[in-house]
Amino acid sequence: MPLSLRLICYRCMIKHYTIPVFIPELACPFRCAFCNQEKISGHRHIPEESEIRSIVDSYLKSFKQPERHVEIGFFGGTFTGIPLEEQERYLKTVVPYLKSGLINGIRLSTRPDYINKEVLDLLKKYGVTTIELGAQSLDDEVLKASYRGHTAERVAAASKAILDYGFDLGLQMMIGLPGDTFEKSMTTAEKIIALGASNTRIYPALVIKDTAMHRWYKQGRYHPLSLDEAVEWSKHLLLLFEKNNVAVIRMGLHPSEGLVDGSELVAGPFHPSFRELVLTEIWGDILKPLTDKIAEKENIVIKVNPSQLNYATGYSGKNRKRLLQNFNSVKIIASSKIMGRDFVVEHAKISTIG
């Protein structure tokens, strides 16, 4: 979505919803080192048209916000790798919702090596608005080590074709893959920005059962990022994307059943509130001038924008607890007068920091 539209939506308090329709492993012949699609997505069943309509209707009934932007998203597999007639059948199922205005767009995820003119012509015909490519990395060494099956050049070519057709481009990235480093991940983010993506997702690599990385992990050949490392990397990536007006629409894998209960997750930085952990650390840095102060047993009130209240306080109150090491009492409250990640301190010797 263009920056101007995102800003308008924010000011009007439009709620954004995505109705997920999972179509796992219909086409992908590759087996990336990190991937066991069924176990990652938690979805093994391929829905029929009637089931898709039921899913969409159920979600639409649950949405309470009258001012909203709704998309249907085909996720979980390689959508453009399935036969064209199958793609058309799924798209035809949801087009009536688009024509009636009940939804505002259709998005899908796929691989960069399953983008061609015939596919793009079909997607354009049926009103697809956003195409997300699983780039994962834009470093050829990392892609090769992860058995990804395509090069960074292929991602660039597919991205250009998508933009030339007028679609919004999403480029997903994965951090901590075999051979990855913080510097390589930052370079991947810079390339995602340069390729013209309007949105991205940041996924820390996890060791899932019955994958190549699972085998390497048991052999001591692969070590995933720690949770702290993944949060630290993601913090810098998020700030870089924000600076360049690329929306980060997700950080961390969705907490499917197998990940939450640990039945499919072997190792790696999974946390059901991963984004909140990242934003907690961003606010920890913002509030550092206060935590660096010599302890002064005074009472302070910190005012932040309502959208930032939970993050300023921190996951499990982490940032507030840090501040309590320096102050007698700390209250963090919402104020609509404060914009973005600015903040104001009251009842302290410092009057304003931001």
For residue 262, give Cα distances in angstroms to 40, 207, 209, 254: 12, 11, 10, 13
Per-residue model confidence (pLDDT) at position 29: 60
Q: Mean pLDDT over residues 294-298, rounded?
A: 73
Task: Decide if pLDDT at 78 tops 90.
Answer: no
Give φ, ψ of 37 to 5 degrees.
Answer: -55, -40
Average model confidence (pLDDT) across the chain: 88
Per-residue model confidence (pLDDT) at position 351: 44
Percent of the chain at pLDDT above 70? 88
**pLDDT level of residue 323 (50, 70, 90 thresholds):** very high
Q: Residues 130-179: pLDDT tens digits?
A: 999 999 999 999 999 998 889 999 999 999 999 999 999 999 999 999 99
The CATH class, in words, for 3-272 is alpha beta
Sort strands 68-75 and 105-110 into parallel, antiparallel or unpaired: parallel
Q: Residues 325-352: pLDDT tens digits?
A: 989 899 999 999 999 999 999 975 544 4
What single string gives the DSSP state of each residue in 63-75?
A: ---SSEEEEEEEE
Q: Residues 244-286: pLDDT tens digits?
A: 999 999 999 877 656 777 788 999 999 999 999 999 999 999 9
The SS3 call for residue 105 is strand
For the chain, residues classed under CATH 3.20.20.70 are 3-272
Per-residue model confidence (pLDDT) at position 75: 87
Cα–Cα distance, 229 to 235 (Å, whole number): 10
Task: Decide if pLDDT at 46 tops 80.
Answer: no
